[in-house]
Structure 1
Amino acid sequence: MNKAFILDLDGTLLDSMGAWQNVGIKYLIKKGFTNIPPNLPSILKPLTILESANYIKTEWQIDLPQQTIADEINELMAQFYQNEVELKAGVRAFFERHKEHKMCIATATDRHLVKHALKRVGLEDRFEFIITSTEMGNSKRQPDIFIEAAKKLSSKIEDAIVFEDALHAIISATSAGFYTVGVYDESFKHETEQIKKVANEFFYDLSDWRL
């Protein structure tokens, strides 16, 4: 039986984590704030966009609805996804090698941004579906998104492979019984050794992975 692939987007397929790391800072600067801690990117990194918006709203006492803040952050990212984002090295070769497998995107990024990105890199028709943390109602710190993705792929958990760059997501997927492949990303380089210990496999370039 062919394995089903559940793929993260940012940092796994797309070279986009640098943009996400800076978007919270860019948003606050745009709002006129200067008291921005340097560790803000690491605080926001594991959060969904709505959780990030709530954190920013609370910490900086911004008098806007949480959803409005999330929408404004997404708008900053939309320009990047439409005009600048690129695939990471080895990703096209990975897709060429595994054409026969069912695949989906499971991501913390909101759906309309995912569609912009996939259209730009020419992969809008490659996946069975997209599933997002916002739609699931929680982050990848819980395995719900992976379990739901496997269900929608008509795959048992043991027959699905999760590809991720983030330690918290790999821990979550592994805890639910998924086979996990860790993918290196510069933004998570400080977690590389931990990821190697938790994931079933780890690669610096997806084109090196073989089933």
Structure 2
Amino acid sequence: MFNNIKAVLFDLDGTLVDSMWMWKDIDIQFLNKYGIEYPEGLQESIEGMSFSETAEYFKSRFQLMESLEQIKEEWNKMAWHRYTNQVPLKEGALELLQYLKENNIKAGIATSNSRELVNLIVQQLGLESYFGSIRTSCEVEKGKPSPDIYLLVAKDLGVKPEQCLVFEDVLPGVMAGKNAGAKVCAVYDAYSAKDTDVKKEAADYYINSFFELPVF
């Protein structure tokens, strides 16, 4: 799996950290403030979108008067305590990062989350020294499944996309990595368990835990 791999690129939520469980609750609470009932299937509709694209979607679909910046600021506030106190690393993630560092394999984060929240969780978990690039999809033209974010992180690291291994937990992320020309390993997460079969089909590899990787 790691033969000829010069960089490993990680999605954040649901891949490196266990946080996908909380976003539906945040969306329910957020919409409730406007007297709007949470529509089933909303999470699937926004899967892979950048933080900014998601705000645009909410503003348009639910006819919100707030600006995009106000919507994103509210989400950051609602998620802040959870990211500070309730979001752990996925099993084996730290050990994998240590392995990559010890073996001079570059690492980067390509996330759909906000800059504020990714900075918070990386600092909270003490991960700064492991990554040569941390980018959000708000910094590129299109979110996942477009390859833009993974192409940007690979460029930051000075590595060709085909020399990268991507870890992703949701199908749009898997497709973003594949569309960038990288090898992709899909990662189990309870949130996307229903999509296990399609993720296995789309990705080059599939793991339930980082401890299943051949480096351990």
TM-score above 0.5, yes or no = yes
1:142 aligned counterpart, secondary structure: coil
Is the contact between residue 21 and residue 45 of structure 1 (CA under 8 Å) also seen in structure 2? no
RMSD of Structure 2 on Structure 1 (CA): 1.6
Q: 1, 16, 20: which is aligned to 2:23?
A: 20
Amino acid of the residue matched to residue 84 of structure 1? Q
Matched, 1:55 2:88: no
Amino acid of the residue matched to residue 90 of structure 1? G
Question: Which shows bigger deviation, 101-110 or 117-126?
Answer: 117-126
* Matched pairs, number: 210
Question: Which shows bigger deviation, 103-112 or 52-61?
Answer: 52-61
Is the contact between residue 141 and residue 148 of structure 2 (CA under 8 Å) also seen in structure 1? no
Q: How far apart are 1:161 and its partner, in Å?
A: 0.9
TM-score in terms of structure 2 length? 0.90
Is the contact between residue 6 and residue 163 of structure 2 (CA under 8 Å) also seen in structure 1? yes
Is the contact between residue 168 and residue 187 of structure 2 (CA under 8 Å) also seen in structure 1? yes
Q: 117, 120, 124: which is aligned to 1:120?
A: 124
Q: Which runs of 5+ in 1 are unaligned?
A: none
Amino acid of the residue matched to residue 112 of structure 2? A
For the residues of structure 1 that align with 2:212 and 2:98, how far apart are their CA atoms? 12
For the residues of structure 2 that align with 1:124 and 1:208, how far apart are their CA atoms? 24
Q: How far apart are 1:77 and its partner, in Å?
A: 1.3
Amino acid of the residue matched to residue 136 of structure 1? V
Q: Identity of counterpart residues, as a percentage?
A: 33
For the residues of structure 2 that align with 1:177 and 1:57, how far apart are their CA atoms? 33
1:146 aligned counterpart, secondary structure: helix
Is the contact between residue 160 and residue 179 of structure 1 (CA under 8 Å) also seen in structure 2? yes
2:43 aligned counterpart, secondary structure: helix
Question: Which shows bigger deviation, 154-163 or 45-54?
Answer: 45-54
1:189 aligned counterpart, secondary structure: helix
The structure-2 alpha-carbon separation of the partners of 1:172 and 1:32, relative to structure 1 and needing over 3 Å to count, comes to closer
The structure-2 alpha-carbon separation of the partners of 1:46 and 1:62, relative to structure 1 and needing over 3 Å to count, comes to same
